[in-house]
Chain A
Amino acid sequence: MTFDRVRIEIEDGVAVLTLNDPDVMNAAGEPMLDDILSALDIIEDRANGARCLVITGAGTAFCSGANLKDRGSGKAKPVGFVLETHWHPLLRRLRRLHCPVVTAVNGAAAGGGMALALTGDIVIAARSAYFLQAFRRIGLVPDVGSTWLLPRGIGVARAMELSLLGEKLPAEKALAWGLINRVVDDGAALAEAMKVARELAAGPTKALALMRGLYWDSTENGFEDQLDLEYRTQRIAGASADFREGVAAFLEKRPARFSGD
């Protein structure tokens, strides 16, 4: 299905969401964010069978962040307004999504686009892709969850450096820092992401969704709270059809066939 600035396809349990405004490096203004939220409605509808989500960008960039040119049209809204109306609902829904998320960072990921790239549970980048905390270049602070995600991904020292200096972080260095998971040749990010996504979509997606939830919550919890959450979550996973299948397959020494139930 095609929206004005976003494409969405679901095949074999994998939903691919493509940011589709290549003329502006997929800058995310309100129209694109509206489209992303509409696409999420489709992905979240279980009847459509998405068991893994891939997010990527059309053309040479992943997403260049806020669309500064869109701001001028009509009455200028206060800076930050679109965070509460669009970005934050989007982030919340991605955090609570029922299936894993893989981001295929095919090119530049700047500002809010960098934050969006990092919401992937698995982040796969093209070799020439880079990450850029562009905010300081226009006198703003990092947003779209950047200041929460970055220190938890790579530590405070490196997070500070990225945001204060605003220098490009090449994909290879992001990999070495543990910010992302894979680097592949240019043009191959989406293919590699699809490979990983198909593997995940064929897995025990109920447990996979529960574990991504555990990691999202982990940094907010103390050790005791997290043990308690692991216990409560394991009870849910332990009652799933996939767990019964997993144990049966293990004992029968055959590959498991997970249904996501």
Chain B
Amino acid sequence: MPDFNKVKVETEDGVAVVMLNHPEVMNAISVDMLEGLIAALDFIEDRSNGVRCVVLTGAGKGFCAGANLQGRNTQTSKSGGAGSVLESHYHPILRRMRRLHCPILTAINGAAAGAGMSLSLMGDLKLAGKSAYFLQAFRRIGLVPDAGSTWMLPRLVGTARAMELSLLGEKLPAEKALEWGLINRVYDDAELMNEAKKMAKELANGPTKALALIRGLYWDSPENTFEEQLDLEYRTQRIAGASADFKEGVTAFLEKRPAKFKGE
């Protein structure tokens, strides 16, 4: 299995588990790790590798502690100030995740702070361990939320709660995040990966072409007017309606048997 810089990828039955892998620093994000993520995306997007669902998780106790401040001084001297790595690394990764050809689950196994919280929210479905928490850490060092935080948070939990999280910078425990509708499931820590893999396998066996189109519709929805979204639903349904999975789905329904979707 491919092993990238500070990122590990394991594939099984159409599911790619992408693991942020620098547990000594709670998987704090370095340029090395971001390049590992880009290489992992290259692998996942290559259709010949047969990936139909992605699980993003962290190695060890944390999910991701956000930007690696320890490594900052050397990095910024090269790249010119806070924020430059957003344009060079984070934003391309976020765009590729948004446009990915298959669903993404995040299995949030521990702390998800700063940009690590942003990454955790990129899952179409977000599953967390009971001991996990979310932290808008930016204000602690005089920065503003980034890596898409200010777009995703108000849309997930409303403006009042988004403001509170970012302005006060207090920990949001997994259970409360679930109550707020920020995430979808909370499991016992020991069960999290099994449950995430089970759900991922279920999605990977689904009509993944349609599932990818669905996630795209929801990504685009908040940017569209009602009329535009009706138009987009129409155009997208034409694509889904021309898929082999649609033919199989209808046939299986009429024959009263489970459908065998291929993602085509």
For chain A, which range describes its interface: under 10, 10 to 19, 20 to 34, or 35 or more residues?
35 or more
Closest to B141 in A: A246
Report whether B83 and A215 are in contact in the complex, using a CB–CB cutoff of 8 Å: no
- CB of A251 within 8 Å of the partner chain: yes
A199 to B168, Cβ gap below 8 A?
A: yes
Task: Evaluate contact between A230 and B142: CB separation under 8 angstroms.
Answer: no
Q: Is B223 at the interface (CB under 8 A from chain A)?
A: yes
Pick the interface stretch among B15-23, B155-163, B248-256. Answer: B155-163
**Quick one: given A234-B144, A239-B81, are A223 and B161 in contact (CB under 8 Å)?**
no
Q: Tell me if A231 and B91 are in contact (CB < 8 A).
A: yes
- Bound together, the chains give a CA A180 to CA B158 distance in angstroms of 10
Give chain A interface residues in 23-41, CB to chain B under 8 Å: none
Q: Chain B nearest CB: distance from A151 CB in Å?
A: 10
Closest B residue to A196 using CB positions: B168
Neighbouring A residues of B143 by C-beta, 8 Å: 207, 234, 237-238, 243, 246
Total residues of chain B contacting the partner, CB 8 A: 45
- The stretch that binds A, out of B42-50, B145-153, B234-242, is B145-153
B167 at the interface (CB under 8 A from A): yes
Which of A178, A230, A238, A246 is the one whose CB lies under 8 Å from B160? Answer: A178
- A246 CB contact (under 8 Å) in B140, B159, B167: B140
Chain B residues in 8 Å Cβ range of A165: none
A181 to B166, CA, bound (A): 13
> Which B residue sits closest to A238, measured CB to CB?
B82
Q: Which residues of chain A are near B157, meaning CB under 8 Å?
A: 178
B130 at the binding interface (Cβ < 8 Å): no
- CB of A211 within 8 A of CB of B144, answer yes
Task: State whether the Cβ of A221 lies closer than 8 Å to any Cβ in chain B.
Answer: yes
A8 on the interface (CB 8 Å rule)? no
Cβ–Cβ contact B151 & A218, under 8 A: yes
**A234-B143, A234-B144 known; A208 vs B160 contact (CB < 8 Å):** no
B158 touches A153 (CB 8 A): yes
Question: Would A227 and B82 count as touching, CB distance under 8 A?
Answer: no
Across the interface, which residues of B come within 8 angstroms of A178, CB to CB?
157-158, 160-161, 180
Q: Which residues of chain A in 188-205 are interfacial with respect to chain B, using CB atoms and an 8 Å cutoff?
A: 196, 199-200, 203-204
- Contact A215 to B166, CB < 8 A, known contacts A154-B158, A235-B82, A235-B83: yes
Closest to B149 in A: A230
Asked if B87 is at the interface of the complex by the 8 Å CB criterion, the answer is yes
Q: Does B13 contact A (CB under 8 A)?
A: no
Contact of B145 with A230 in the complex, beta carbons under 8 Å:
yes
In chain A between 120 and 169, which residues have their CB closer than 8 angstroms to a CB of chain B? 121-123, 149, 152-155
Question: How far is A222 from B152 in the complex, measured between Cα atoms in Å?
Answer: 11
Residue B144 contacts which of A123, A154, A222, A237 (CB distance < 8 angstroms)?
A: A237
Contact with A along B145-189 (1 / 0, CB 8 A): 111111101110111111110111000000000001000000000
Between B91, B158, B163, B223, the greatest number of chain A beta carbons within 10 A of the residue's beta carbon is seen for B163
Which chain A positions have C-beta within 8 A of B154?
A: 152, 215, 218-219
**Does B69 touch A at the CB level, under 8 Å?**
yes
A244 vs B157: C-alpha distance when bound (angstroms): 31
Residue of B nearest to A180 (CB): B160
Q: Does B98 contact A (CB under 8 A)?
A: yes
The list of the 8 closest CB pairs from A to B, nearest first, reads A238-B82, A246-B141, A242-B142, A234-B83, A204-B142, A243-B142, A246-B142, A226-B151
11 pairs of residues in contact across A and B, judged by CB atoms under 8 Å: A122-B167, A200-B168, A211-B139, A211-B144, A215-B154, A219-B159, A223-B98, A231-B83, A231-B87, A256-B141, A258-B142
